[in-house]
Amino acid sequence: MRSRQGRVTLPPRLDYTFAPGGLAPSIPTLGEEMRERSSSGNTMASFADLSVIIPSYNARHHLARCLAMVQDELPGAEVIVVDGGSADDSAGMVQRDYPGVILHSCRNHGWAYATNRGVELSTRPFFLFLNSDAYPTRHAVLAMLERLDRRPDLGAVGPVLLNEDGTRQALFGFWYWPTWRDITQPTAVPVLSGACLMTTRKRFEQVGAFDEAFFLYNEELDWCRRAHQSGFGLEILPSTVVHVGGGSTTKNPLLMLESWRGFVYLSEKHWPDWVTLVLREAMRVQGFIFKRVDPRPSYRSMWSQMESMMKRGAYRESPFDVSGRGVPDLSPTAARGPE
């Protein structure tokens, strides 16, 4: 039976007004803050060593709510929004209502590309990768900061993700066992969701950037696998964060195709050849059958593309406009890719 955690009270769906202003130079670093809090017992924290990186596309309502939450709950954090050419005035809203946020607008090359762009713009030693429809709390983010600071063997940590009604969010399908158990202490896991994931700059550089051959889905699975290969562990913490899920996606059949073809590409990168061959053949047969029986024309076209893609072994060809950078070198001296 699926385990559930208690319901939570969400922040009100209100617009917040914040006075413009920057960080004071006297704000302590995270290490200094930890020592000061340890000696004084003070539970207040600044977050002056944290860059919050938010990729966003056509999610203005969720993004506004997310930014309100971030500025209220994470004072002093560097906040970076990478907007993939949204048509809903997301960029304008950020400029008008959140002047302290670093805004970068670019072509929509997908989640991995936008997140990597945010890393290139960041200046802090800790990264919080945050979807625009996720709403972090001070307690959850502080718990992640403290855990990473104490455990250099961890590549990344994440919270328990909740639906808006306070129930546990199902992640990665039935096989992902952390979804079906209560998380009451830091727990080692095989993968973490990119909806709310924290790492450090140094550890991110050791693992490498997100693979931009993924447009959407599977990119965090690839990164987590590479983190394990680099000798790092991953943990989910008992603190919770609300994540709406699908806040910037529509029921586009090509997103379904992207999810499946990305999974085969993931298999090619990390699993034995026979696994990739079995996946290819299973998806080819699925496409062959459903392109004939699916009553929806747009889906029939998608099934036909799947059959062709898997037959040709062309699962590196996204139906969307990916950057072509693969896993880019994000060092300061590296040449910048396309906008």
* Rounded CA separation 111/114 (Å): 5
Confidence band for 175, pLDDT divided at 50, 70 and 90: confident
pLDDT of residue 189 exceeding 90 = yes
The pLDDT tens digits for 104-150 are 999 999 999 999 999 999 999 999 999 999 999 999 999 999 999 99
pLDDT band at residue 28 using 50, 70 and 90 as cut-offs = very low
Nearest CA among 111, 108, 110, 142 for reference residue 128: 142
What six digits make up the tokens of 30?
A: 């995270």
Nearest to 217 by CA among 161, 275, 258, 160: 258
Please report which confidence band the pLDDT of residue 179 belongs to, taking 50, 70 and 90 as the band edges: confident
Question: Residue 4 — pLDDT band, cuts 50, 70, 90?
Answer: very low
> For 131-243, where are the E strands, in sequence order?
134-135, 154-162, 187-188, 196-200, 233-243
- Round to whole Å and give the CA distance between 229 and 270: 10
Region of 143 (left: φ > 0; alpha: ψ -120 to 50; beta: rest) is alpha
Mean pLDDT over the full length of the chain: 85
Max mean pLDDT range (166-170, 246-250, 271-275): 271-275
Taking residues 84-98, report their average pLDDT: 96
Q: How much of the chain, in percent, has pLDDT values that exceed 90?
A: 75
Residue 5: what pLDDT? 37
Q: Does 26 score more than 50 pLDDT? A: no
Domains of the chain: 30-243 (3.90.550.10), 250-339 (no CATH)
Which burial class, exposed, middle or buried, applies to 22 when counting CB atoms under 10 A from its CB (0-12, 13-18, 19+)? exposed
pLDDT(338) > 90: no
9 pLDDT higher than 60? no
Q: What does the DSSP 8-state code read for residue 295? A: S
Banded pLDDT at 16 (limits 50, 70, 90): very low
- C-alpha to C-alpha distance for 72 and 105, rounded to whole angstroms: 24
- pLDDT for the residue numbered 42: 41
Across the range 289-297, mean pLDDT stands at: 95
pLDDT value at residue 245: 78
Res 210 pLDDT > 90: yes
> 44 falls in which pLDDT band (50, 70, 90)?
very low
Average pLDDT rounded to a whole number, residues 38-56: 70
Tens-place pLDDT, residues 109-121: 999 999 999 999 9
> What pLDDT was estimated at residue 221?
96
For residue 18, is pLDDT > 50?
no
pLDDT of residue 324: 87
